[in-house]
Amino acid sequence: MARTEFRKRGGRVSLDKIPTEPPKGITKKNARERFAALGEELFELQDALWGAKVNSVMVVLQGRDTAGKDGTIKHVAGCLNPRGVQVASFGVPTPEERQHDFLWRVHRHAPRHGEFSIFNRSHYEDVLVVRVHGLAPNDLWKQRYAHIEAFERLLAAEGTIVLKYFLHISRKEQKKRLLEREGDVHAAWKLSANDWRERDRWDDYTAAYEDAISVTAAPHAPWIVVPADAKWYRNLVVAQSIVETLRQYRKPWKRRLEDMGRQARAAIADYRR
Ligand code: AMP
Ligand code: MG
């Protein structure tokens, strides 16, 4: 599957060299079938995560305007039991948020044991939009890489599985999506003139993303670059990557459920004596 994962700090990230389109040979129909199977497996894994309550999952979605953050949430989170999922969207900081450190608003949405948090944008905006538009002094935002790194290490040490996705669309596809939305009276509400202003800074964002991915990639908090020009392929890649990660926890979660089950049975047997 064409996706590029970064699991180690300091790797070279050249977004221009990573495809935005699905690989040849995979069809939409085939992808839909695989997605459905993955969705069922994800649901089953979520049940074990929920019961075992030793881990949690933080899914960070980043990408340019129209890259498909909302669509990914709709489709991938749609496979999950809503009881155990929280979606948090991070926009322009409120006056209150501005009076705190940049992680304050993010940390409150970190998932509880047993649950998923899906981030529509995230703490990474503070080294992306903030850098591109000079919203904080250089020496301040540059320190944030280290803070982010420490934050994600803290989460991982306490049981959070951190997965970070960059939804990678081409400049051409973005233009097409912006114009399509503009032409559809029921979709135009999603747009703002700002989307075009941001598009003008394409290369600055590329540089900001490449640095953020390179500096904050870690084995416990990998970045996955997702070819996102085709929505059906993007959904498949994200679902597959989450499932492949969680599969590694299936055995320990099931063991924990068995332990809990034995304890519950013993307590009931005690009561009956
Ligand atoms: P949307 O995702 O379309 O709802 O837009 C949210 C907007 O909030 C985007 O333009 C982001 O760049 C902006 N945003 C998110 N986080 C920050 C931040 N920390 N500082 C400034 N702008 C931000
Ligand atoms: Mg927007």
Whether residue 169 contacts residue 20, with contact meaning beta carbons closer than 8 Å, is answered with: yes
Q: For residue range 157-168, what is the model confidence (pLDDT) as tens digits?
A: 999 999 999 999
Whether residue 117 contacts residue 86, with contact meaning beta carbons closer than 8 Å, is answered with: yes
Q: Span 162-179, mean pLDDT? A: 98
- Per-residue burial over 24-36, b = 16 or more CB atoms within 10 Å of its CB, e = otherwise: eebeeeebeeebe
By alpha-carbon position, which residue is closest to atom 5 of ligand 1? Answer: 91
* 59 Cα–ligand 2 center, Å: 19
Distance of CA 149 to the CA centre of its chain: 16
Ligand 1 site: residues with CB under 6 angstroms? 90-93, 121, 125-126, 129-130, 135
Among 98, 125, 181, name the best residue to mutate to test ligand 1's pocket (greatest count of ligand atoms within 8 A of Cβ): 125
Those residues with Cβ within 8 angstroms of residue 60's Cβ, 6 or more apart along the chain or in another chain: 119, 122, 124, 162, 163, 164, 165
Q: Which atom of ligand 1 is nearest to the CA of 65?
A: 3
Rounded Cα distance, 25 and 28, in Å: 10
Q: Nearest 5 degrees, angle CA 126-CA 128-CA 132?
A: 115
Q: For residue range 35-94, what is the model confidence (pLDDT) as tens digits?
A: 999 999 999 999 999 999 999 999 999 999 999 999 999 999 999 999 999 999 999 999
Q: Span 218-238, mean pLDDT? A: 98
Q: What is the pTM of this model?
A: 0.97
Q: Which atom of ligand 1 is nearest to the CA of 195?
A: 10
By alpha-carbon position, which residue is closest to atom 12 of ligand 1? Answer: 129
